[in-house]
Structures are given as structure tokens and as C-alpha cells.
Chain A
């Protein structure tokens, strides 16, 4: 038995003696990060973490404690029991049967060591020469194992993946890109994006066109635009009374072709390249409450149809949990955060309006703007469907080509309009996004704003 498995046994035994019910979660994670500055790997960071979280029910109340001290079982149980003396009421049916959930099959990365992360970092640095832009970034290799134990069973899930974050810097343009992959090779989308950025760096400064013009949103801007809705569909926002959409499920909200679904990555063919860098997004077998993770449709034909929940928020709303209760998120679990509802694979689609490549979307724009990213767009965090902030990076589009770099300016986007009556199409390729929630977002074209 491994030292950690042995500790789980000890914690379970002592908790059983002092509490009416108990659940344990442990996280073991090893990260290796290579930082690239100006095309050169210049710093290695590594982290090894093992931590335990114990949740007990005692006399009808819940108490929780966490520790990184695996040798102090007594202290961990004592803290949890003490918290239960003043804790929130325990649910009537705490966890029965949840640990029967099937464990996810271990998804191994191709490499078996840390050498691959160095090679990837060198490949990332080499893009500086090929793109002609200064390239900074990080390559992270993560191995993560999560154990859950309760009186009715135990599950273990493991995962390994790479995270690549790049920033291409020209004389004017600073273009970010990020992706998660299980393949130790740079996704083709990254090279293509940097190549495009190199072509745009020398363009003149421009203002947003006056009057009607199209708006093409890059995946990171789509992520910002969707965040109010994703936040409003979060069980935490619903229970806190801050969701603007909770009372309007089933009512038309977006364009009838638009769907938003949380689901795992499509399994890649053996030896297939991860061209978009989305294959590493995590999708465990069960969430940190022990509920199986299953695909969930959030928006169907433009209509928000359901919220996503942890066990706690589902109980508060009188509905079933959806397998979205994570401490941190599926990519990065931490016992230091409470289990809250999180989307890990949200995908925006538009059915027949999936219109081909970015170039195809660009070609259809006579005059418009390409919004790469917004600043401050997350600030209202689900209180309103309007995203207001400042244009961080955007480009002028004229006659189907990127023709200038937009000057920074305040900007407000109402997702009911951009993804509603003005919506026209999305690209068929999607890139990984992850901030507050994770998923795969396409480029989105809206007309005549």
C-alpha cells in the first residue's frame, strides 16, 4: 500500500470513530514548468503537492478540514470534528452510492518523463525565429491523481497533460495563445496564429469604423462574452440570488442556432496530432463530490435550459447534481478551495452556421473589426448580460483582410445581441479557453453592430 493510501485508511478509521459520516479527498500533483523568455528557455519551476481534505457529518452538521501534513491524522480529524460543532446542517442523504461511480480510465501522455516539457519549450522558443516575433511563454507538464474515499468505497483518477501558453510580441502587437494537449508537440493552430500575428504587426493604427460594421470575435473574446451567461447558469450564482437568467430558463435568449454544451474532448485517433490544442482539457470520471461527470446541454437552440451544479448547490435548488462540483477545476484540483460548480469542457456551436475557417469568416467581412481580447470584461461576473470593458487588442477588417490595429477604447457588448439577432456564423475550429471556466470556443461573426 502506498503511503498516501495508508493515510487514507488511517483518516477513514479515525473519522469513523468520531463522526457519523466522512468523506476524504486527496490530491497528488507534480508540475514541471519551463519558462521561455525572448525565445530562450530561461527558468525551470517544479512543484510536488500532496494534500488531504476531510469532510465529516456529526450530530447533523458538517465540518471540513484540509492539511498538507500527511503525518498528522489526529489533527486533521480533530479540526473537522471541531468545525462540525458549529457547521452548516448536513444533507439528509450525504453520499450514498456516489463512490460507486466508475473511475476514469487513466489517460497517459505520450512521454514518460520531464524531458518532453523541455523539448516543447525549445520548440516554442524556435517559433521566434520562424514567426519573426519575440516569443515568451510557458510549457507545463502536469501529472495529477485524485483519490476519493468514503464508507461506501474509494475511487482514483489520474491524468497527465501539457499546458502551453505563448505570447507573441511585435513592435505593436502582443498576441496571446493558450492550449492543453496530451501530445508532446506544438499544436498547428499556435504556429498559424503567430504567422498571422507577424503579418499584422506592421499594420497602421486605426479607429473602429463609424456606423454599421461587422464584429468578428476571437475565441478569448468569445470566452469573455459568454462568461456572464456561464456564470449566471452556475449553481452558486443561482443559490446566491445573483443569476440574471435563473428565473428565465426555457425562454429564448440567443440565436436559435446556438448551443452550449459541456462535454469531454473527442478521443483522438492513435498518433493523431492535436492541431487545436484542446485535447488536454480534463474530463474526470467523477467530480470532487463523487458524482459522475456526464455531458450537459446548457443552451439548446438559443434557449438556456439548465444550470450546472455541485451536490451542495443542487440540494439548495432542489434539483439533481450534474457532476460539476470541483475544488479548483478539473485541470487543477486543490483541497484549499471548496467544491463549487465549474464547467471544464464547454463548447459553443451553431449547427448549420458553422462556417469554415477563420479566413472564410474574414472573407465575408467588407468592413468590421476583429476583437482578440477585452480588458475588464469579467468584472460584473454574471450580474448582467452586458460585457463592458476596454478593447485590449483588436484589428480593423476591410474587404476581407486585416488592415489595421485598433486603438484602445471602451467597448460594450451585449451577448443577447452579438449571439442573438446580429449573430451570423462561427468557425469550425475551436481553441481552448480557461479562465473561471474552461472549454473550446470558435471565432464568432456578428453582423452590422
Chain B
């Protein structure tokens, strides 16, 4: 135990009032960042980031304090003092099921214990020289691949964080989090605008996912270069076939964020929109947020309140089942059970309801069948950008090809997909039979806590009549 040896003295001496809840989280993280830009390696940085935080939820108020000093006592006392001085309505936390690493099957989906995915080739076992040689070769290959390429960015990050959490209720858990991301973007001169192709990879610390990506880099170059001559898409309504990575992020940004329970507080319209029993999509559509699998970015067997993770079925057969992902505070507000979704980016932040691994269950269609059923549409792959505001969404696919009379044709550029978050589920009329489960470098941002590792699993989807604009 890094903190107190498990002694409750820390909480006894903090000046807490009777009935106050307090928790202390200590984190020791080590990060490696490598960036290639311009004509070569731009930076190689190792970061050691340590600190602790304390949260007090009490009768007179709630407070959160953090510090890069690892002495938890002063931080806890500051939080206790701030909570006492605030003098506002009391906060409440729901009872929860604390995580225990001796309970097999805690994660529901995977049946694994609390091991945080130490499978594969751990990134910290690979030497810096080898990483720089491998990733630098991708950058050099992208720059040399075609005279139309104007630049390439390679951004690699790996991190390992050891976290300890103690609460005044007696919970004490420790866990290790690993994360690894690689983003390669290739730019080409498209006249008035730049065109881009990209490679995106990620894992829960397994370095092998960034090996053997030379063909992907070639494909990214081809996308950026070919897009220069591609016609700009004509605005209008299209049938869109989205590949797994795009469909997964779309689910994350739409139903996923809508289900974060803090958004439901005081929002009667959202509560009605996601009322259990309401039909949102076709009968083959089932979407779940769950603790993920070891080795993946969105693996969260225990959250940052110490709650054991459990799967939450948001939609089953197109109908809303459990519409809220909780931390203990929101669970208390709705008189529901915490779901293990209280996540904090690091010790600088309090936990919030956040997504983990969102999964669209596979359907029955093949991609060929889905494309074959489209008269005028688009085949969209990957994501360049995406955003929602809980009412509408906009997405920029990384690559789009036109579909005419059931046949995939050439690339088009400037595609922006947009629509109403809730209305789009009804537009789904086919779901692929193969569920994509790879991780990308795409992470989640919320209330200043960027970029939280998440996973998205999804099959190919076909959506009818999606609004397409061009940019």
C-alpha cells in the first residue's frame, strides 16, 4: 500500500464530519510520447506523472482536491475544509458493489479477473531504439511514397498507471491501467484544401498492434493522393453503409453519450426520450456498454469509485432497456444501481459517468448484401472527426466511395454525415454479421477530461436516407 498501509487514520485525522464520505486516489503514471512531423522525429519525451486526489461528499457540501504531491493527508484535509465551508445542499452516493479481484467473472462480458490486460507484447518491454526505428520507418515511407504527399504526422503514446483507491467506507483497491495509441496521418495537396489519409491503432498496452502496418500506411497514402482528384460529393440524402470502426464511434457518440446519467439530471426531455420500453431502432439492433476485455483500451473491470464493472444493455431488439450509465452520485439521484462507469482521466479529475466499451451486436447481413441493396449511396470507412451535442451529430468519414446500383465506385471527398441523434437509429435497416473489435487511437473527451481510452465494437451498418453535406 503506497498510502497508509490501509490504516483508517488518514480519514480519522482529516476533520470529516459525521456521515461524510471521503475517498483518496493515488496515481503513479509513466508515459512515452514520440512524434514525427516535418522531415523526421520531432520529439521523444518520457513523463513521470504522480499525484493524489481526495473527494469529500458531506452534509454541508462536496469538494474535490488534487495535488502533484503524493502526501494524501493535506489533500484530504483541503477537500474536507472546502466541503464544510461551501454550505450548500448535501451530496449523496448510492451503495455499490465494491470490486474484489478474487471474484472471477467480475467483468461480466469477459469472465476475466482484475488483470488489466497484460497479454501480448507489453510496450515497456520494447526498447526505445526499436520503437523509433519501426515508427520512423512508417513516417519515412509515407513521405517517400508519392510526390503529391505534402507531409505526414506520426504520433505514438504509451502509458502505464498504477492506481490505489481508498474510501472512508473501507474499500481499498489497486489496479494498473495501460494504454497505447498510434495515429498516422498523411497529407496531400488538394488545391484549395488538403486531403488526408490515416492509420489508427490502439491497445491496452500491447505493442504488437503497431507492428506490420506498412500496408496500412500505403493505403493511407493512396487515400490522400487519390482524394485530390476525387469529385466533391453532391449534397443530399444518401443510403450509407458504415464500416465497423465508423459504426462503433457513431454508437459511442450517439446512444453512448446520451446514456451517461449526469446528462439526465434535470433533463426531463432526455429522460422521456430514453424511457425504458421506447423503441428507437429496428428489432435487430442491440447495443451494450460493458467493461471490455483485457488488452483492449476500454477495459474497465473496476471504476474510479471502486465499483465492480457490469454490462449495461442500453438497447435490446431496438427498444430502450437500461438507459443510464452511472457513477454513485447519479445512481443515488435516480435510485438506481451504480454500473461501474465512474471514470477519471487521472488524479487531477473527479470521476464522471463515462463510457467503457460500447458494442453493437452483430446482425445477419453480409457487406455485399448491404451494398447490393443500395441504389444511390456511400460506402464510408473510418473516422476523421465526429461530434454530437446530444441532439444532433456530424461525422466526417476518413474515406468514402460512391455506391451506384449496388456497385462500389470511386472515391468522393468532402463528405459530412449529419442528423438527429435519436432519429438516426430508425434509419438502420441492415446490420452486418461480423463484429469489428479492433481498437483505434480515438479516445473520449468530456468536461475537460480528454482523452479517455475507450473501445467500440461494431458490425457494418446500413442507414437509409442520411443527410450528407459537403465541405
Contacts and interface: CB of A to CB of B under 8 A. Distances in A.
| A, B in one complex | yes
Contacts of A83: 44-46, 128
Given A375-B392, A383-B193, A338 B35 contact: yes
B38 interface: yes
Interface string B387-413: 111011110100000000000000000
Interface in B419-471: 420, 467, 469-471
A316 B40 CA distance: 10
A351 interface: no
Given A43-B62, A375-B392, A82 B46 contact: yes
A102 interface: no
B350 interface: yes
A43 B67 contact: no
A45 B132 CA distance: 40
B86 A387 contact: no
A382 B51 CA distance: 36
Contact of A42 (B66, B89, B469): B89
B41 interface: yes
Given A44-B82, A241-B150, A388-B470, A88 B42 contact: yes
Interface in A192-229: none
B416 A410 contact: yes
A356 interface: no
B61 interface: yes
B250 interface: no
Nearest to B265: A37
Contacts of B420: 408
A130 B45 CA distance: 51
Nearest to B348: A47
Contacts of A43: 61-64, 86, 91
Contacts of A386: 193, 471
Contacts of B86: 34, 41-44, 118
Interface string B22-59: 00000000010101011111111111111100000000
A88 B40 contact: yes
Given A45-B64, A239-B38, A244-B192, A390 B49 contact: no
B394 A42 contact: no
Given A240-B37, A241-B152, A380-B471, A75 B392 contact: no
A265 to B, nearest CB: 24
Given A42-B88, A241-B151, A49 B67 contact: yes
A415 to B, nearest CB: 12
A378 B44 CA distance: 28
B394 A390 contact: yes
Contacts of A338: 33, 35, 42-43, 45
A127 interface: no
Nearest to B42: A88
Contact of B67 (A47, A80, A336): A47
B153 interface: yes
Given A51-B68, A312-B42, A385-B193, A41 B88 contact: yes
A389 B386 CA distance: 10
Nearest to A416: B192
Contacts of A316: 38-39
Given A65-B47, A376-B394, A87 B41 contact: yes
B222 to A, nearest CB: 17
Interface string B244-277: 0000000000000000000000100000000000
Contacts of A118: 86
Contact of B471 (A41, A64, A88, A388): A388
B469 A388 contact: yes
Contacts of A45: 63-65, 350
B69 interface: yes
Contacts of A64: 43-46
Contacts of A82: 46, 128
Contacts of A382: 194
B418 A390 contact: yes
Contact of B389 (A62, A239, A392): A392
Nearest to A228: B193
A107 interface: no
A68 B68 contact: yes
A42 B392 contact: no
B149 interface: yes
A109 interface: no
Contacts of A357: none
Given A47-B67, A239-B151, A69 B40 contact: no
A118 B84 CA distance: 13
A50 interface: yes
A48 B91 CA distance: 24
Interface in A62-77: 62-69, 72, 75-76
Nearest to A387: B471
Nearest to B384: A379
B381 interface: no
A242 interface: yes
Interface of A: 34, 38, 40-51, 62-69, 72, 75-76, 79-80, 82-83, 85-89, 118, 134, 236, 239-244, 312, 316, 335-336, 338, 375-376, 378-390, 392, 408, 410, 412
Given A42-B62, A51-B49, A389-B418, 5 more contacts: A42-B91, A336-B31, A388-B470, A410-B394, A412-B470
21 contacts: A40-B88, A42-B88, A43-B63, A43-B64, A43-B86, A44-B61, A44-B83, A46-B63, A46-B79, A48-B65, A62-B43, A64-B43, A68-B48, A82-B128, A83-B44, A88-B42, A244-B193, A381-B385, A388-B469, A390-B418, A408-B391
Those 4 A-B pairs whose CB atoms lie nearest each other, nearest first: A241-B151, A379-B385, A241-B150, A388-B471
